[in-house]
Amino acid sequence: MMDTQKRMYELVEILNRARYAYEQENKEIMSNYEYDKLYDELQQLEQNLGVTLAASPTINVGYEVLSELPKERHEKPMLSLDKTKKVADLKDFLQDQKAVISWKLDGLTIVLTYREGRLFKAVTRGNGEVGEVITNNAKVFKNLPLQIPYKGELILRGEAVIGYSDFEKINAQIEDVDAKYKNPRNLCSGSVRQLNNEITAKRNVKFFAFNLVKAEEVEFENSRLKQFEWLRDQGFEVVEHHEVSKDTVEKEVAWFEKTIIHNDFPSDGLVLAYDDLAYGTSLGTTAKFPRDSFAFKWADERKDTTLLSIEWSPSRTGLINPVAVFEPVELEGTTVSRASVHNISIMEELELGEGDKIQVYKANMIIPQIAENLTRSGVRNIPTECPVCGGKTKIAMENGTKTLYCTNKNCQAKQIKSFALFVSRDALNIEGLSEATLEKFIAKGFMKDFVDIFHLHKYEAEIKSMEGFGTKSYDNLIQRIEQARNTTLPKLIYSLGIANIGLSNAKVICRALHNDPKKIMDATVEQLNEISGIGDVIAKTFVDYFSEDSNRELFENLLKEVTLPKEEEDHSNQMFANMNFVVTGSVQHFANRNEIKEVIEERGGKVTGSVTSKTSYLINNDVNSTSSKNKKARELGIPILSEEEFIEWLQENI
């Protein structure tokens, strides 16, 4: 049985690889005859076993976009496991019982329900009592059977995980250093909870069963090991596990510890569970933990090093966080040289001073932390001025914790959102400057205002030496900044972050004022009120912005950095003048919804986010959808257009 299933998994992988090469890379890695032969073999195996995997080329799982993930309460609360780092505790737990020891996989716990042999429902663990329904996404997990031989109701638990190899491939495609995922678990969590399961399908999420909850009228001989065997026969990949006793547990733990180095899937320890199901159930639970199982965590690797300095890092909330910088050490296979200390209270508790001998470790084998200060010279030199803006700092007590704050409300570190808007796609469109990267650059004093973004080349050496950066990342960033110099006046106006001025309003105002920067700065409320779609509130915030000398100076300086194409005024086709559109759902003929928005705005129309009585048309390819926007449009008698109908309308008016 195991060999047959292994062959089925093998065939799915081979056939999918061949299909991808043919369809995406325009090359053949096997003949049509060979492909058909293997396809027929897979189809026969699926019929024989009554198992069909989600990734099988014999089925076509349609992709679907949801508006939200519904919440659902679990029938029984999902408790955490009691933990230990001592093998002696495992021996005490075992006594004279046999048990099953397995990986404690580090992903996202999922509860699956099958009815009449088909996947009926998938729900995340959530907070243990309420999870999110992710059935749509589970259907595209690479190794999950959509159809199984057992026809009764089956409920099981398992872990959705992404392997290190897939994690590294996905991260390699993300050029922005701070947009990269920190670890496979974070990537898996985001992938499993996508609203569009086409994204999930591309992430190679796999599911490993670790606990059978319900399967009526199946004889398991009171054995957890038999449950694992049965689940495997149903087509599930089960977590790697061994039978263990008090006499063999130490040897088994050592085997897993040695093997984890070569494991492609992330694991943060082991799980020990009694094989005797009835005995385990009879023990019941505590308020927090089940009594039939135990989690084992390997002791954290600690290294001695020397604290070189404390770096003070301002954040968007005004909080100034202390970061310990120490002599680099190897921990859990990587070199680390920095660790967050979080607040002044922790610094004082550790009596942390420059030059101290400290012990560092990685919490959960991921996050660098200070475990102990061996010399304790004491805290000193807490900054009285903000490292970014020079404003005064204050020490505040919050929930019994001392923290350092910047008191300047205009501190650049507090303006991250405005910098993020400036570089966003609809504004200057500078990829590679995520909020996290902007925060680092501002904290280091590279940027005081938007103009400084165009002069980051002054800090070439510093940027290249920053963690996660290098020559390629730096060169790509500078190239994108140079490309951003060629922009449009509406995008530049929008990038300033003036209240109530979106890109659509910016285009309307620029068009009405003949794309003249001087007229835009000197516009009056009366002038703007005359523009269709610009009301008194928008007009006032716009005029108020340019009434401040600092804002006028910033705008004038930005004009010196960019090149604006001469906009040709076109009054010939304003077919959507005074019309309001809402665009929703996926698109097929346009690149994205923004492209439809641009077409509408070029022809005098306006695109908003919600359906109201002022909406003229709703554009949605799924005309018959029961989505909230479609329902609202029908209630208000607003026409719903498909993309094709919209294109036909455009062509009629060319």
Catalytic residues: 104
Q: To which H or E segment does residue 19 belong?
A: helix 2-24
Reduce the secondary structure of 218-275 to three states and give it as a string: CCCCCEHHHHHHHHHHCCCCECCEEEECCCCHHHHHHHHHHHHHHCCCCEEEEEEEEC
638: Cβ contacts below 8 Å, ≥ 6 apart: 611, 615, 616, 617, 618, 632
Question: Closest by alpha carbon to 10, among 47, 41, 49?
Answer: 41
Number of C-beta neighbours around residue 492 at 10 A: 23
Number of C-beta neighbours around residue 490 at 10 A: 25
Which residue's structure tokens are 């660790």? 339
Reduce the secondary structure of 478-541 to three states and give it as a string: HHHHHHHCECCHHHHHHHCCCCCCCHHHHHHHHHHCCCCHHHHHCCCHHHHHCCCCCCHHHHHH
**β partners of residue 115:** 118
Number of C-beta neighbours around residue 620 at 10 A: 22
- Write out the DSSP string of 571-599: -S--TTTT-EEEE-S--SSSSSHHHHHHH
Question: Closest by alpha carbon to 93, among 279, 223, 278?
Answer: 279
Number of C-beta neighbours around residue 561 at 10 A: 17
The encoded tokens of residue 387 equal 């490292």
- Give the pairing of strands 319-331 and 401-406: antiparallel
- Write out the DSSP string of 594-629: HHHHHHHHHTT-EEESS--TT--EEE-S-TT---HH
- Write out the DSSP string of 345-403: HHHHHHT--TT-EEEEEEETTTEEEEEEESS--------SB-TTT--BEEEEEETTEEE
Tell me how far apart the alpha carbons of residues 369 and 336 are, in angstroms, rounded to a whole number.
Answer: 10
- Report the SS3 class of residue 206: strand
DSSP state of 450: G
Phi, psi of 44 (to 5 degrees): -65, -40
DSSP state of 291: S
Question: Closest by alpha carbon to 352, among 326, 313, 387?
Answer: 326
Tell me how far apart the alpha carbons of residues 490 and 504 are, in angstroms, rounded to a whole number.
Answer: 8
